[in-house]
C-alpha cells in the first residue's frame, strides 16, 4: 500500500514538472546561431560558399579551437577524448544520474555545405543557452558532443568517433587505419594533440539516458510537405565495399585491343552492376552508389594498371541490403575473371538499421506541439552518429528542412527560421528528457 502511494506521488510530481515545462518560453537567438554558423564555415580548405574541413587538418583544428571557446564561454565543462570527440556538459541537479546527450559533427567532405552536422552542434549549444535563459534547472546533466569525423573522408570510416565510443570499432583496428598519404590514425591524432589511449574512448552501455541529434533532413520531404519538424523513427542500414582491380597496364599505342587486360573496364562494368543490383533486388529505400573511382596511373596514353572503387549500399531492410551486397561481390569477382585482371573485395562496414525510441519520439512531438510547429514521423535514409549512439542509449533525431533537399554540396541551405524551429524543439525535448 505504502509503495503504491509513493509511486502515485512520484507520478504526480512528474506530471507537475512536465506541465511546468510546457509553460516555459524557449527562445533561440537565431542571429547568434547564424553568425556562429557563418564563422565556422570560414574554417575551410576551399573558397566559400563551399566548405572542406577534413579530420585533423589545419581548418579542422582551428574549428575545434573555436568550438571549445564557445562551449567554455557558455559555462559548459569541456573535455576531449583520445580520438578528438569533444564533450561539453551542463551539470544537472543530480550528477549521479546518466546525462541526456545531444550533438553532431563539424567535419565536412570536399566542396560541401555549411549546415550538415554543424546545425546539430551549434544548435545543441543554442538549445542549452535557451534552456538556461528560460530558467530551466534540469535534474539530469545535458551533454553536448562534437563527434570526430562523421564523414569518411580521411580514414574511410564514417562516424569514426561514435564507432569508437560505442565499441563498434576496436581501438587496435582504428589505430592502424591509414589515409591516402599512409599516415595512421594513431600518428595523426597524437600530432593533433589528442592525448590518452584509444582503448579509453569506449563508453559503457547506459552512459547516457537518451541521445537526440538535430540535423538537416538531406532530402526534400519536409520542404515538399511544408512541415518544419521531422521526428525520426528509424535509420537506414549502411554498408560500404572497397574493390580493387589490377592489370599489367601498358602503352596506349603499343598494346593491341585483343591483348589488353584493362582493370578500368572491369570497374566500369561493376559501377553499372551496382545500379542494377539496387534496382532489381531492392525496394524504394534501397540505394547503391559508387562514390570513389580512382585510376592509376591516370595518363591519357597509358592503359590503367590499378583501379579502386568504393561502393555505398543502404536500405531500411538489412537482409535485403545484404542480398544486394552479395550480388555486387559475386559480380566483382566475375568481371575480374572475364577481363583477366586481379580482383580484391573488402568490406569496410555493414551496419544494422536502427529503430528509434518511442519515448524520445513522443518528447519531440510534444515539444513541437508546444512550440506550435507541425511535426511528422519519418525515417532517415542517411546514417549519422546516432546510428552508433544507439548501441549505448535510446536514440532519435530531429530533422529540419533543407532547400530542395540538397546536401553535401555548396548549395546546401537551411533557413534561419528552420534552424530556429529545430533548436527550440530540441530544447523542449532535452528539457523533458532531462527530467
Domains of the chain with bracketed CATH:
12-236+354-433 (3.40.630.10), 237-350 (3.30.70.360)
Query: What pLDDT does residue 3 have?
Result: 54
- Whole-model pTM? 0.88
Cell numbers found for residue 45: 580548405
Residue closest to 399 by CA, chosen among 192, 187, 157, 212: 212
Query: What pLDDT does residue 22 have?
Result: 47
What percent of the chain stands above pLDDT 70?
A: 95
Angle (CA) 233-237-238 rounded to 5° is 135
Q: How confident is the model at residue 7 (pLDDT cuts 50, 70, 90)?
A: low
| Beta bridge mates, 361 | none
pLDDT digits (tens, 9 = 90+) for 238-258: 999 999 999 999 999 999 999
pLDDT digits (tens, 9 = 90+) for 151-190: 999 998 899 999 999 999 999 999 999 999 999 999 999 9
When the pLDDT of each residue in the chain is averaged and rounded to a whole number, the result is 94
Residue closest to 348 by CA, chosen among 194, 160, 149: 160
Query: What pLDDT does residue 430 have?
Result: 98
Cell numbers found for residue 357: 525510441
Cell numbers found for residue 376: 511528422
Are 277 and 328 in contact by the 8 Å Cβ rule? The answer is yes
| CA 379 to chain CA centroid, nearest Å | 14
The Cα 209–Cα 354 span in angstroms is 17
pLDDT digits (tens, 9 = 90+) for 29-88: 999 999 999 999 999 999 999 999 999 999 999 999 999 999 999 999 999 999 999 999
Query: What pLDDT does residue 25 have?
Result: 85
Cell numbers found for residue 356: 528509434
User: Under DSSP, is residue 411 helix (H, G, I), strand (E, B) or coil?
Assistant: coil
Amino acid at each position: 500500500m505504502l509503495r503504491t502511494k509513493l509511486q502515485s506521488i512520484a507520478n504526480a510530481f512528474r506530471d507537475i514538472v512536465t506541465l511546468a515545462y510546457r509553460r516555459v518560453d524557449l527562445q533561440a537567438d537565431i542571429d547568434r546561431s547564424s553568425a556562429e554558423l557563418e564563422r565556422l564555415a570560414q574554417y575551410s580548405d576551399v573558397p566559400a560558399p563551399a566548405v572542406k574541413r577534413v579530420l585533423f587538418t589545419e581548418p579542422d583544428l582551428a574549428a575545434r579551437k573555436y568550438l571549445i571557446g564557445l562551449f567554455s564561454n557558455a559555462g559548459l565543462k569541456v573535455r576531449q577524448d583520445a580520438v578528438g570527440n569533444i564533450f561539453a556538459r551542463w551539470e544537472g541537479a543530480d550528477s549521479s544520474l546518466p546525462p541526456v546527450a545531444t550533438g553532431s559533427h563539424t567535419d565536412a567532405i570536399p566542396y560541401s555545405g555549411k549546415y550538415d552536422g554543424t546545425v546539430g552542434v551549434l544548435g545543441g549549444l543554442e538549445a542549452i543557452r535557451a534552456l538556461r535563459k528560460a530558467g530551466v534547472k534540469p535534474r539530469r546533466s545535458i551533454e553536448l558532443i562534437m563527434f570526430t569525423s562523421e564523414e569518411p573522408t580521411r580514414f574511410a570510416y564514417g562516424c569514426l568517433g561514435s564507432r569508437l565510443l560505442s565499441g563498434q570499432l576496436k581501438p587496435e583496428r582504428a589505430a592502424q587505419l591509414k589515409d591516402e598519404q599512409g599516415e595512421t590514425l594513431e600518428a595523426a591524432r597524437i600530432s593533433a594533440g589528442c592525448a590518452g589511449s584509444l582503448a579509453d574512448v569506449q563508453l559503457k552501455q547506459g552512459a547516457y539516458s537518451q541521445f537526440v541529434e538535430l540535423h538537416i533532413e538531406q532530402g526534400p520531404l519536409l520542404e515538399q510537405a511544408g512541415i518544419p519538424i521531422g521526428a525520426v523513427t528509424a535509420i537506414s542500414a549502411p554498408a560500404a565495399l572497397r574493390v580493387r582491380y589490377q592489370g599489367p597496364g601498358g602503352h596506349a599505342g603499343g598494346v593491341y585491343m585483343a591483348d589488353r587486360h584493362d582493370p578500368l573496364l572491369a570497374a566500369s562494368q561493376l559501377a553499372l552492376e551496382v545500379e542494377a543490383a539496387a534496382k532489381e533486388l531492392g525496394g524504394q529505400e534501397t540505394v547503391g552508389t559508387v562514390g570513389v573511382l580512382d585510376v592509376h596511373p591516370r595518363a591519357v596514353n597509358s592503359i590503367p594498371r590499378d583501379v579502386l572503387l568504393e561502393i555505398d549500399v543502404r536500405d531500411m531492410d538489412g537482409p535485403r541490403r545484404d542480398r544486394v551486397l552479395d550480388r555486387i561481390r559475386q559480380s566483382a569477382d566475375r568481371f575480374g575473371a572475364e577481363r583477366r585482371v586481379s580482383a580484391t573485395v573488402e568490406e569496410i562496414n555493414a551496419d544494422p538499421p536502427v529503430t528509434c525510441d518511442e519515448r524520445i519520439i513522443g518528447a519531440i512531438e510534444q515539444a513541437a506541439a508546444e512550440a506550435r510547429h507541425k511535426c511528422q514521423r519519418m525515417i532517415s535514409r542517411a546514417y549519422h552518429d546516432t546510428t552508433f549512439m544507439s548501441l549505448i542509449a535510446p536514440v532519435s533525431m530531429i530533422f529540419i528542412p533543407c532547400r530542395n533537399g540538397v546536401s553535401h554540396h555548396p548549395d546546401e541551405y537551411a533557413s534561419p527560421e528552420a534552424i530556429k524551429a529545430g533548436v527550440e524543439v530540441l530544447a523542449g525535448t532535452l528539457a523533458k528528457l532531462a527530467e
